[in-house]
Amino acid sequence: LRTDSTVAQLREVARQCRVVSRVVFRGRLGREEVAALLRSADVAVCTPWYEPFGIVPLEAMACGVPVVGSAVGGLLDSVVHDGTGVLVPPRDPRAISGAIGALLADEPRRTRMGASAARRVARLFSWDGVARQTAQIYDGILRVAPRYAGSAELA
Model pLDDT for residues 16-38, shown as the tens digit of each residue = 999 999 999 988 899 889 999 99
Tell me how far apart the alpha carbons of residues 88 and 97 are, in angstroms, rounded to a whole number.
10
Return the amino acid letter for 152: A
Please report the pLDDT score of residue 97 as a whole number: 97
pLDDT in tens, 103-131: 999 999 999 999 999 999 999 998 998 89
Please report the pLDDT score of residue 95 as a whole number: 98
* Residue 102 CA neighbour count, 13 Å, CB half: 16
Task: Identify the three-state secondary structure at position 17.
Answer: coil
Beta strands in 32-124 (DSSP E): 44-46, 67-70, 85-88
- The answer to whether the CB of 85 falls within 8 A of the CB of 67 is yes
How much is the mean pLDDT over the chain?
91
Return the amino acid letter for 72: V
- The pTM score is 0.81
